[in-house]
Chain A
Amino acid sequence: MNDPYKILNVSPDASDEEVKKAYRTLARKYHPDNYADNPLADLAQEKMKEVNEAYELIQKQRRSSASSSYTGGYGTAQASYTKRSSSPLLQQVRAALDRGDVAAAESLLSQPQEHTAEWHFLMGKVSQRRGWMDEALRYYAAACRMEPGDGEYRAALEYMQSGGAGGFRPQGYSVFTTGTDDCTRICMCLACTNLLGGGWCFCPIYY
Chain B
Amino acid sequence: MFGYVRPSFDRLNEAERARFRAVYCGLCTTLGKRYGFAARFILNYDFTLLAMLLSTGEDDRCKECRCAVHPLKPCTVLCENDALVLAADESVILAWWQIQDAIADSTLLRAIPYRTAAFFLRRAYKKARVLRSAFDAHTKAQLAMLSALEREKCPSLDRAADTFATLLRGTAMHLADETQRRVMGELFYHLGRWVYIVDAADDLARDVKSGSYNPLIYRYNIQGNTLDSDSRTMLCATLDHSVHCMAAAYELCGRTHYHAILDSVFYEGLYAVGSAVLAGTFRKAPRSRREHHRKNGKEETR
Contact = CB atoms under 8 A, between A and B. Distances in A.
Contacts of B219: 134
A105 to B, nearest CB: 17
- Among B183, B236, B248, B274, chain A packs the most CB atoms within 10 A around the CB of B248
A186 B179 contact: no
B236 A40 contact: no
B225 interface: no
Contacts of B179: 43
B271 A178 contact: yes
A183 B17 CA distance: 20
Contacts of B263: 170, 173
A195 B165 contact: no
A134 B243 contact: no
A162 interface: yes
Contacts of B10: 186, 189-190, 193
Contacts of A9: 255
Contacts of B8: 186, 190
B158 A135 contact: yes
A176 B255 CA distance: 24
Contact of B290 (A167, A197, A200): A200
Given A35-B248, A183-B271, A160 B17 contact: no
A197 B73 contact: yes
Contact of B236 (A163, A186, A202, A205): A163
Given A192-B292, A196-B24, A43 B157 contact: no
Contacts of B251: 29-30, 34, 44, 168
Interface string A170-207: 10010011111101101111111111111111101111
A161 interface: yes
16 contacts: A43-B179, A162-B240, A163-B236, A164-B245, A165-B244, A167-B248, A169-B267, A177-B240, A178-B243, A178-B274, A186-B10, A186-B268, A187-B276, A191-B289, A199-B69, A207-B286
Lowest 8 A-B CB distances belong to which pairs?
A: A163-B240, A183-B275, A164-B244, A187-B272, A179-B236, A132-B158, A187-B276, A163-B237
Given A137-B238, A165-B240, 12 more contacts: A34-B248, A39-B186, A40-B182, A43-B179, A127-B158, A131-B158, A170-B267, A183-B272, A184-B276, A192-B293, A197-B73, A204-B45
Interface of B: 3, 6-10, 17, 20-21, 24-25, 43-45, 69-70, 73, 75, 156-159, 162, 165, 179, 182-183, 186, 189-190, 193, 219, 232-234, 236-245, 247-249, 251-252, 255, 263, 267-269, 271-276, 278-279, 281-282, 284, 286, 289-290, 292-293, 296-297
